[in-house]
Amino acid sequence: MSLRTSPPEDLVARALDGDRRAVGRLLTLVERGGADAETVASLTQPHAGRAHVVGITGSPGAGKSTLVSQLVAGIVDNGTVPAVLAVDPSSPLTGGAILGDRVRMADVDGVAFIRSVATRGHAGGLALSIPGATRVLDAVGYSPVIIETVGVGQVEVDVTAAADTTVVVVTPGMGDAVQANKAGLLEVADIFVVNKADRPGASDARRDLELMLEFSHVTGQENENYRPPILMTNSLDGDGVAEVLSAIDTHRRFLDDSGERAVRTRRRIRFEIENRLAMAFDVTLAQRLAEPATEALIDRVAQGDLSVVDAAEQLRQMMLGSREN
Amino acid sequence: MDDGLSSGTEAAAPIRVVLTKLGLDGHDRGIKVVARILRDAGMEVVYLGLRQTTDSIVAAAVQEDADAIGLSMHNAGHMTLAPAMLKAMAEAELEIPLVVGGIIPEDDVQSLSDAGVAVVLGPGAPSEEVVNSVRAAVAAA
């Protein structure tokens, strides 16, 4: 009970001392947003920046959670304590969610710090709170911080702006070489994992990805100092997991040695600023759309006196005007 | 703009419930239905799955900053397991309600309540009762 009413300052102090309950509470404050979340952000910022942040993404059922569980076990064996932010979708209808990633992480949930996060209405594969939550876990000393996205399709690439290293998990039967060359998710991978590699079609998936990377070479999209590896895993029994950990480490060293880390840090800051602004504008927009003036404009469009384009433009002018007051 | 950032989400924060089964008990049809009921009522259900220990449930509730723990019990072990769960929660200073549901004979309900279980939901409890009792228990904590 005391924790629930503790001010953010006390919680941060306790969290830095290793109190997991305080860490859990801080993540709640970050998720809720508002003044407390901003206090937490400014108090944790000075302690953050040490953890390597690894994003794990891929389609629903690709085996992300199971792979994360195996990665965590390997990381613990290597002597550090990681944290996991496991994101699952909120219902667009009720706002509720079933967060089920822990089911696959039962072997490691006493060691690592695992937090299930609902998207709470945000598209893009992550929740808006992820940058702030990552900062808290980084500040209190977990490393690496692993972000597992919701099961994604082709365009949800937010994770690349939130993570230092992005691992894209695919499975046999994901489609043909044309699928692999479509724009989107596959373009942003730092490491490819073909999971369920014991299943038929695994080598086809690997070949399609290799071909896709060859085309990146031809078109000049590839980074000449770094080529994403394609690794085969079976995350149920742990086959290939050590190779994934070693590839993550190789990529981490590439970031440091090439200066790419600075580029990504700036990208992450930009992403967070952009998200905060988008959130603020969304609220302003929702308030404006709820006003009677909007209803009056809708009436005029419905009656045929005004075009949709003109109605939107009038509202835009009114919003800009009110902003300057 | 600051107002926009702080007022929009705070009031709407969903109740977070850790939902699981403790010990050797494989009957998971009921818990899956309850997970859906709570989800459809707008709560965030952290589902741990089967065969958890009191320690693993406490660890999850701490990391998830859960507002309540829900245990589904169909192995007649509730008179042993529910008090064990309460003890583990007390030792971890977890001051959140424990809700128990499943095959609980009428005669045991009072003893469980006396032991500190916040809500006991028997077979056939309607969805509204499940949702409202969880909400009430969280509000009272």
Q: What is the CATH number of the domain that holds B136?
A: 3.40.50.280
Cβ atoms of A167 and A244 within 8 Å: the answer is yes
Give a yes or no: residue B60 inside a domain. Answer: yes
Paired with A98 in beta bridges are: B45
Q: Looking at CA atoms only, how far is residue B110 from chain A in angstroms?
A: 26
Chain A neighbors of B1, CB-CB under 8 A: 280, 284
Q: Is the model's pLDDT at A206 over the cut of 50?
A: yes
Burial class, A202, CB count within 10 angstroms (exposed 0-12 / middle 13-18 / buried 19+) = buried
Cβ atoms of B109 and B122 within 8 Å: the answer is yes
Confidence of residue B10 (pLDDT cuts 50, 70, 90): very low
The amino acid present at B22, given as its one-letter code, is L
> Of all helices (H) and strands (E), which one includes residue A132?
helix A130-139
Judged by a CB distance cut-off of 8 A, whether residue B134 touches chain A is no
The CATH number given to A49-257 is 3.40.50.300
The reported pLDDT for the residue numbered B2 is 37
The reported pLDDT for the residue numbered A236 is 86
Provide mean pLDDT across the span A126-149.
94
Quote the CA–CA distance of A140 and A97 in Å, as a whole number. 28
Provide mean pLDDT across the span A64-88.
94
pLDDT in tens, A62-72: 999 999 999 99
Chain A neighbors of B59, CB-CB under 8 A: 109-110
Provide mean pLDDT across the span B113-141.
95
Structural domain count, chain B: 1
Q: Which of B39, B65, B92 sits opposite A96 (nearest CB)?
A: B39
B37: which 2 tokens? 């009921």
Judged by a CB distance cut-off of 8 A, whether residue A39 touches chain B is no
Chain A neighbors of B63, CB-CB under 8 A: 20, 23-24, 109, 113-115
Chain B neighbors of A325, CB-CB under 8 A: none
Q: Do the Cβ atoms of A98 and B36 come within 8 Å?
A: yes
Quote the CA–CA distance of A148 and A101 in Å, as a whole number. 9
SS3 content of chain A, % helix, strand, coil (to 5): 55, 15, 35
Q: Looking at CA atoms only, how far is residue B78 from chain A in angstroms?
A: 22
Least confident of A17-21, A90-94, A108-112, A182-186: A182-186
Phi, psi for A147 (deg, rounded to 5): -110, 115
Q: Which of B8, B36, B63 sits opposite A115 (nearest CB)?
A: B63
The reported pLDDT for the residue numbered B18 is 98
Cβ atoms of A175 and A201 within 8 Å: the answer is no
pLDDT in tens, A240-266: 999 999 999 999 999 999 999 998 889
Quote the CA–CA distance of A78 and A246 in Å, as a whole number. 11
Confidence of residue B13 (pLDDT cuts 50, 70, 90): confident
Q: Looking at CA atoms only, how far is residue B107 from chain A in angstroms?
A: 32
Q: Which residue in chain A is spatially nearest to B96 when comparing CA positions?
A: A1
ipTM comes to: 0.89
For the ranges A83-97, A147-161, A276-290, the maximum mean pLDDT occurs at: A83-97
Give a yes or no: residue B136 inside a domain. Answer: yes
Confidence of residue A124 (pLDDT cuts 50, 70, 90): confident
Chain B neighbors of A282, CB-CB under 8 A: 8
Domain interval for residue B103: 19-140
Judged by a CB distance cut-off of 8 A, whether residue B62 touches chain A is yes
Q: Which of B10, B12, B65 sits opposite A27 (nearest CB)?
A: B65
Judged by a CB distance cut-off of 8 A, whether residue B40 touches chain A is yes
Quote the CA–CA distance of A280 and A278 in Å, as a whole number. 5
The reported pLDDT for the residue numbered A322 is 59
Q: Is the model's pLDDT at A281 over the cut of 90?
A: no
The reported pLDDT for the residue numbered A282 is 77
pLDDT in tens, B14-71: 999 999 999 888 888 899 999 999 999 999 999 999 999 999 999 999 999 999 999 9
Give a yes or no: residue B9 inside a domain. Answer: no
Q: Looking at CA atoms only, how far is residue A17 from chain B in angstroms?
A: 16
Interface test with B, best of A109, A279, A282 (most B CBs within 10 A): A109
Provide mean pLDDT across the span A144-164.
87
Q: In chain A, what are the domain boundaries?
A: 1-47, 49-257, 273-324
Provide mean pLDDT across the span A120-149.
92
Confidence of residue A175 (pLDDT cuts 50, 70, 90): low
Chain B neighbors of A279, CB-CB under 8 A: 4-5, 8
More confident residue, A280 or B128: B128
| Average pLDDT score, chain B | 90
Q: H helices within chain B, ranges in order? A: 2-10, 29-40, 54-64, 78-91, 106-115, 127-140
Chain A neighbors of B47, CB-CB under 8 A: 98-100, 102-103
Q: Is beta strand A53-58 parallel, antiparallel or unpaired with respect to A145-148? A: parallel
Provide mean pLDDT across the span A90-110.
87
Judged by a CB distance cut-off of 8 A, whether residue B63 touches chain A is yes
B69: which 2 tokens? 């723990």
Give a yes or no: residue B10 inside a domain. Answer: no
Confidence of residue A2 (pLDDT cuts 50, 70, 90): low
The reported pLDDT for the residue numbered B6 is 37
Q: Which of B4, B12, B41 sits opposite A283 (nearest CB)?
A: B4
Please report, rounded to a whole number, the percentage of residues in chain A having pLDDT higher than 90: 56
Quote the CA–CA distance of B119 and B134 in Å, as a whole number. 8
Please report, rounded to a whole number, the percentage of residues in chain A having pLDDT higher than 70: 94
Q: Do the Cβ atoms of A21 and B93 come within 8 Å?
A: yes
Provide mean pLDDT across the span A199-208.
91
Give a yes or no: residue B58 inside a domain. Answer: yes
